[in-house]
Amino acid sequence: MPPTSEALESIVISSKDLLVELCAISSASGELDGLRRVAARLGDELLARGFAVEVVEEADGKGASQPVLVARGSQARDRYRLLVGHMDTVLPAIPPRIEGDRLIATGGLDMKAGLAMFLGALDLLAARGQQLPQDLLLVVVPDEEVGGQVSENAVRRWGSGARAVLVLEPGERHGESETLVAGRRGMSEWRLEVAGKASHSGLAYWDGRSATAAAADWAAQAQALSERGAGVTVNVARLVGGDVDFVSNLAAHHDLLGSPRRRNVVSDRAVAEGEVRFLSNEDRERVLATLTSLAAKLAAAHGVTMRFEQGFSVPPVDPEGPGSALVEEAVALARARGWDLVVERDRGGISFPNYLEDPGRVPLVDGLGPVGEGMHTREEYVSLRSFGRRIVLLADLLEAM
């Protein structure tokens, strides 16, 4: 039975009241008391809706332990629908206030609204006379805003048993409509080391082989591989060249910069470091192979040796991956309720989905939370209209899946 509009309205109001309460608790990353209070408050609400709730203390690798909220339905054993969120905020809280459609509140948009929305969606399902889905597992972490170890470990661990992943982070405004996130870039770090041959630039210039010139040539060509739109990007973040002493021990020799000393030496050492970003693993393989062969080609052309190494890597969420059907479903559900969801295929920044062992394995939808603006600032706000319709969207999606 569809709930009356009064019933929906009262669910949205009580969810908004809970959101205001959560935002009034200061829980900036590292504010352990506040984080524990948010976990406890959310835990009570989930317990009241039949979830088994645990607040697990996990070591953060820096000698402290931090709370992780884990709430599971009775059927969420080894295959579950995983919902993820975080309770930490960038700034400590100031008292929330409402102005028209805006709830101006620290961490409201990012992302306590996503957590309150989930509870609202459960209440809406109950008001529709539905049995609450028992295969849901909610994990709320305390250190996402600082790229923390607890978040990464928790998402990796709980992600391995998920049959779908719903990320409660906010969508974005897009004109009159709002977005949902289907794709997120992955990232691979790299390092290039170049060894040339030193010589006196006045007496024996042509005997030298400049490592700096070779590295700069490589860097310019590497960066030029970047493609606008959905393609790969290559960022040369650092390029250091000079004589071998200078490059290998910058701390001891930094005062050479700006001085006339050793300018007459053809550079025999250079190092470049950076990263590539990509939307699919094929793109990653392709760009890293091109960078490797570029190193071989330019080493020969410049008469130097070049060593190109790949480093730490996080996988992408491919917008064409197994989540695409679920994303389309969400778009259709919003349209059926009379509003438009636009799909973001290419969100930058490393976030929850990148922490999964293999985001290409499991259907995933990101950006389910309500929109607003001013994330991480004192002007941060959540649109209450968006909050209301996202509650309905999440309830519809949980029901349809």
User: Please, which residue, 254 or 376, has the CB nearer to Zn ion?
Assistant: 376
Name which of residues 301 to 340 contact Zn ion (CB under 5 A): none
**Minimum distance of Zn ion from residue 144's CB (angstroms):** 6
76 is written with which tokens? Answer: 């969420």
Residue 226 near residue 275, CB atoms below 8 Å: no
Residue whose tokens read 């317990």: 47
Q: Would you say the C-alpha torsion 112, 41, 146, 346 has a positive or negative sign?
A: negative
- Scanning 49-146, the segments in alpha helix (DSSP H) are 113-127
Pick one of 46, 105, 111, 362: the residue that binds Zn ion (CB under 5 A).
111
Q: Which stretch binds Zn ion (CB under 5 A): 104-112, 217-225, 236-244, 353-361?
A: 104-112
Candidates 73-81, 108-116, 209-217, 384-392; binding stretch for Zn ion (CB under 5 A): 108-116
**Which residue type occupies 32?**
L
**Quick check: 279 binds Zn ion (CB under 5 A)?**
no
Q: Which of 196, 222, 191 is nearest to 302 (CA)?
A: 196
> Which tokens in the block code for residue 357?
């062992």
DSSP-derived pairing of the beta strands 381-383 and 372-373: antiparallel
110 vs 135, beta carbon nearer Zn ion: 110
Candidates 63-71, 102-110, 157-165, 214-222; binding stretch for Zn ion (CB under 5 A): 102-110
Nearer to Zn ion, 75 or 377 (CB): 377
Instruction: Give yes or no for a contact between 372 and 98, defined as CB atoms under 8 angstroms apart.
Output: no
Nearest distance from C-beta of residue 366 to Zn ion, angstroms: 11
Nearer to Zn ion among residue 193 and residue 366 (C-beta)? 366
Among 110, 135, 193, 318, binds Zn ion (CB under 5 A): 110
Q: Which is nearer to Zn ion, 167 or 330 (CB)?
A: 167
Nearer to Zn ion, 167 or 395 (CB): 167
For tokens 């957590």, name the residue. 115
Nearest to 103 by CA among 48, 170, 44: 170
CB 393 within 8 A of CB 371: no
Where does this chain touch Zn ion (CB under 5 A) — which range of 9-17, 98-106, 164-172, 205-213? 164-172
Part of the chain binding Zn ion (CB under 5 A), chosen from 162-170, 313-321, 353-361, 363-371? 162-170
Pick 111 or 219: Cβ nearer Zn ion: 111
- Main-chain dihedrals φ then ψ at residue 195, nearest 5 degrees: -115, 125
Site map (CB under 5 A) of Zn ion, residues 60-99, x = contact: ----------------------------------------
Query: How many angstroms separate the CA atoms of 117 and 388, rounded?
Result: 8
Q: Whole-angstrom Cα distance, residue 344 to residue 351?
A: 15
Nearer to Zn ion, 86 or 277 (CB): 86
In whole angstroms, the minimum distance from the beta carbon of 375 to Zn ion comes to 8
CA dihedral 376→379→380→384, nearest 10 degrees, is 180
Q: Could you list the residues that contact Zn ion (CB under 5 A)?
A: 110-111, 169
